[in-house]
Chains A and B, each alone.
Chain A
Amino acid sequence: MPQTLHYLRETASQTAGPYVHIGLAPGAAGFHIYDQELGHDIAGPNARGQRIRVEGLVIDGTGSAVKDVLLEVWQANADGYYAHPEGGKEVEDGFRGWGRVITDFETGEWGFDTVKPGAVMGRHGRPMAPHLNLWIVARGINLGLNTRMYFEDEAQANADDPVINLIEWERRRATLIARRDGERDGVPRYRFDIRLQGEDETVFFDI
């Protein structure tokens, strides 16, 4: 008999369900329990770089907005470093780079305020264009969906990005690019709609 490999197996995922707000955004579920809900402030007060707002919808296969999504963002700071022991360098005090938002129960719109991340060093010393890492859970989603949001106004960096270039179908690459959508009070806005199905289904990653 060969030896046994004593690896454990990852715990299986289950849908976050319709009441994910109770656990992860109880204020939205309709009650106050924690003094501090996590994930509201992504960049903190001391963040360097350009303040931005990102907004969008998650759209299902029928073309309807999904109104019970929870979305998490993970991003580098304006210098391209993550707030993590292996993130590269110290980041600004108060910069976490992680946030959590839910969609509006009536409209399905979500949005968050942050700073535009810098380019992050990728594999084999190839820089990756500025991007936000997004993770989407909801009722009917059995395993959280990972995607990335890139910026329309970084055309050259996007053209050179090693991850975007992994996508064989060039027309699908556009699904990862947020559109610049004017400014409000001097803060640029980006629009990023995520399509779960259909002709323009967003590219999701198995990371």
Chain B
Amino acid sequence: MKHAEFYQRDRNVHPPALTPNYKTSAARSPRYAPISLQNSLSEITGPVFGHGDIDPIDRDLIRNYAKDGDPVGERIIVHGRVLDENARPVPETLVEIWQANAGGRYRHRKDTYLAPIDPNFGGCGRTLTDENGYYYFRTVKPGAYPWRNWVNNWRPAHVHVSVFGSGFVQRLITQMYFEGDPLIPHCPIVQTIPDPDAIEQLIAKLDLNATIPLDSIAYKFDIVLRGRRSTLFENRLEGN
């Protein structure tokens, strides 16, 4: 059996390991160059998830932790497709998200920001893309919050997103931002990415067509994972 390789990762799209304005990277960034590895089976395979792993309500952050009512905040739909660099959909892949509540507070034992915890909001969700790579979540818009980096840094509103793809080389964690947020250009974490177009690609667009009238506003966020070769004679991973 022959296996197709994935395109090499374009490292210019991603933030470098050492980004001094995001201070925590200073002691946590490798100093040596990573060793480039051509794909073997260990890289082109990856975990497979199914509907038995998750529950349909997991994608609904308005209901999946609600105790005695809805969470406070702007009701939003976050939806889009997971595609590869060939613009082909990535079906049946696991997408996981997490975020702060509308006040900018995380439900986490280590978060001590003074904004209140929302008793009806957990802040995490997960879903599988459908056969067309499509996914959606219902949630509330997260608030901006301050963080200790420089004295006065604020994170723009954001949703953390984790995606698998079909091979372990496609594994990705990123953050989704919201169109029009004035904090985006001031955020040292956003600005770890040197390429302005790559930053633009992290900003979800307001999608009026997908809003639910009198109910929820919508943002569209497509996620692109690494593409895979299809030219057969380039495919030889093993044999000869």
Is A122's beta carbon under 8 Å from chain B?
yes
Distance to closest chain A CB from B185 (angstroms): 15
Given contacts A22-B124, A23-B97, A97-B47, contact A34 B58 (CB under 8 A): yes
CB distance B240 to A205 under 8 Å?
no
CB distance A205 to B109 under 8 Å?
no
Chain B 192-214, CB-CB to A under 8 Å as 1, else 0, gives 11010111011000000000000
CB distance A38 to B41 under 8 Å?
no
Task: Indicate which residue in B94, B224, B238 contacts A11 across the interface (CB closer than 8 Å).
Answer: B224
Is B225's beta carbon under 8 Å from chain A?
yes
Hey, which bits of chain B sit against chain A, CB under 8 A?
A: 1, 3, 9-11, 13-17, 19, 22, 24-32, 34-49, 53-55, 58, 64-65, 83-87, 94, 96-98, 106-111, 122-124, 126, 160, 162, 168-169, 171-175, 189-190, 192-193, 195, 197-199, 201-202, 223-227, 236-240
CB distance A105 to B110 under 8 Å?
yes
Q: How far is the CA of A196 from the CA of B41 in the complex (A)?
A: 26
Distance to closest chain A CB from B115 (angstroms): 14
Distance to closest chain B CB from A25 (angstroms): 10
Give the residues from 124 to 174 in chain A that come closer than 8 angstroms, CB to CB, to chain B. Answer: 124-125, 128, 131, 133, 135, 137-146, 148, 163, 166-167, 172
CB distance A10 to B10 under 8 Å?
yes
Distance to closest chain A CB from B69 (angstroms): 17
Beyond contacts A8-B85, A144-B172: 11 other A-B pairs, Cβ-Cβ < 8 A, are: A9-B85, A15-B22, A15-B24, A17-B175, A74-B47, A87-B45, A121-B41, A122-B238, A141-B25, A142-B17, A204-B30
List 10 contacting pairs A-B, 8 Å CB cutoff, sorted by A: A11-B223, A13-B174, A21-B108, A36-B53, A120-B40, A123-B40, A135-B171, A141-B25, A143-B15, A148-B42
Given contacts A61-B27, A86-B41, contact A6 B87 (CB under 8 A): yes
Distance to closest chain B CB from A35 (angstroms): 7
Q: Which residues on the B side are within 8 Å of A35 (C-beta)?
A: 55
